[in-house]
Amino acid sequence: MLISQNSYNQKRYPSILILDFGSQYSELIARRIREANVFSTVISHLTSSDEIKDINPDGIILSGGPSSVYENHAPSCDNEIFNLDIPVLGICYGMQLMVRQLGGEVTPAKNKAEYGRAPLSIDDNSSLLNKVKNKSIMWMSHGDSIDQLPIDFCKIAYTENTSHAAIANYKKNLFGVQFHPEVVHSEYGLTVIKNFLYDICKCKADWNTETFIEEAIPRIREQVGNKKVLLALSGGVDSSTLAFLLHKAIGDQLVCMFIDQGFMRKGEPEFLMNFFDEKFHIRVEYINSRERFIRKLDGVTDPEKKRKIIGTEFIRVFEEESKRLGPFDYLAQGTLYPDVIESAGTNIDPKTGERIAVKIKSHHNVGGLPKDLQFKLVEPLRKLFKDEVRMVGKKLGLPDEIVRRHPFPGPGLAIRILGAVSSEKLNCLRDADWIVRDEIKKAGLYNKIWQAFAVLLPVKTVGVMGDKRTYAWPIVLRCVSSEDGMTADWSKIPYEILEKISNRIVNEVEQVNRVVLDITSKPPGTIEWE
């Protein structure tokens, strides 16, 4: 069985199953479904029709994927899925796979591949495309197209380059779309998803933040039993929400440890200890390891090496301190869906089936973890996106200053200093970063922007200050807007705010004589520079 009973509450089966064919957007589909208050889960494309029948979902979604359906060894699914009398929606690769497995033909696109925005022309909006405006923009990303439809299928929409942009088999409730309704760039994408959920699958909108908390708490208790749990507390919304959730579930079995590696933003270590330990009485052990981390990074310029050194040293401190405070069987992490999707890999304990911390994307959480790590992972948030975590945190009683805190990478300012890290550069960047956030807050923009921060470049530029020639560091201003961290656009900050930030930085921060603005979206760029 590819899905264990422990992967979701035994009394609640997912209404929608998403078969994953290797798309980075599979979990984004799940997110959109949860936005519609419907419980869903992502499973392997190898899941058999018998297993799906046992779960008895209201609907099935076939995800996109990087392969071509006609290639050797291209991922496929059990053909009997289409005979279960359960509605199916294929998205991009999922649609092409359904067409091919049911007797149709898929070939390389005859005209040209289609990537990006495309106006959708609708032939039939009776069900799947109900209330979708004709000529509305949908997001395309494909190099193949349908050449011939299977029996009983019909075309219900097209674009200039794609003759079968949406298809339907009304007899068996099988549908397909070539576009990606799950991405925000598709104007009526969520409408398409809701049509499938409510009108076709008859799903109930009965899953929300309260439901997640109610179901997460008994799962945590079942997983850890009476064992102690050590939490890597950073003060960000992820680990903070996790701390509140774990404390609600297991109380004093939870021990939080804040390792001050010297890479935090200005004033954050002091705020963290006061908030959790003194105000909410959640036990936090403060470990001052600033000098230790700086020594380890001495002369290191490669960003991946920096991440791995920080991650390894981080967990070594955990191991050392856990011997004093423990023993601990479990390490809690605020891992989220984007972390899991972008991770380099995971490792499963064959005896327990639990995920263990061996290799996680190196700039997330405690990345670069050594292979001899002894902790098992507790990750109750790993199926949520950032904004969903904020909602959970709010529901658990976290104040806005935590819930609305901008995301901050595990290695902190160390990966916002390109090249070698030093105490001098850290102090410089810390001051510049504080000014950025201070002015953004004063302008009332803090909660409207996903992240606003400063980056220190490993070069020096010529400037003139006080009639004297200077040779100092430039600061890069990075402000981005995003819903989920998977994609992002640069934030259009008013010029007068940018001017204030620039003036303050060059006047108040030593060894800085230039401020520049990063206007790159994700993709092609990333949010962080390293």
Active site members: 92, 180, 182
The widest CA-to-CA distance across the chain, in whole angstroms, is 80
Q: What are phi and psi of 18, to 5 degrees?
A: -110, 110
The residues, any chain, with a CB within 8 Å of residue 309's CB and separated by 6 or more, are 296, 297, 300, 368
Which residue in the block uniquely carries the two structure tokens 């020096």? 460
The residues, any chain, with a CB within 8 Å of residue 468's CB and separated by 6 or more, are none
Which residue in the block uniquely carries the two structure tokens 């058999």? 48
| CA-to-CA separations, 486 to 32, 85, 179, in angstroms, rounded | 13, 34, 18
Q: What are phi and psi of 294, to 5 degrees?
A: -60, -45
- What does the alpha-carbon distance between residue 300 and residue 306 come to, in Å, rounded to a whole number? 7
Which residue in the block uniquely carries the two structure tokens 């942009």? 165
Which residue from 43, 24, 42, 41 is spatially nearest to 92, judged by alpha carbons? 24
b/e map of 32-47 (b: 16 or more CB within 10 Å)? bbbebbbbbbbbebeb
- Could you list the beta-strand ranges (E) of 315-356: 330-332, 347-348, 355-356
Say how far residue 339 (Cα) sits from the centre of its chain: 5
- What does the alpha-carbon distance between residue 391 and residue 321 come to, in Å, rounded to a whole number? 32
- Could you list the beta-strand ranges (E) of 237-335: 254-260, 284-288, 330-332
Which residue in the block uniquely carries the two structure tokens 């600033």? 290
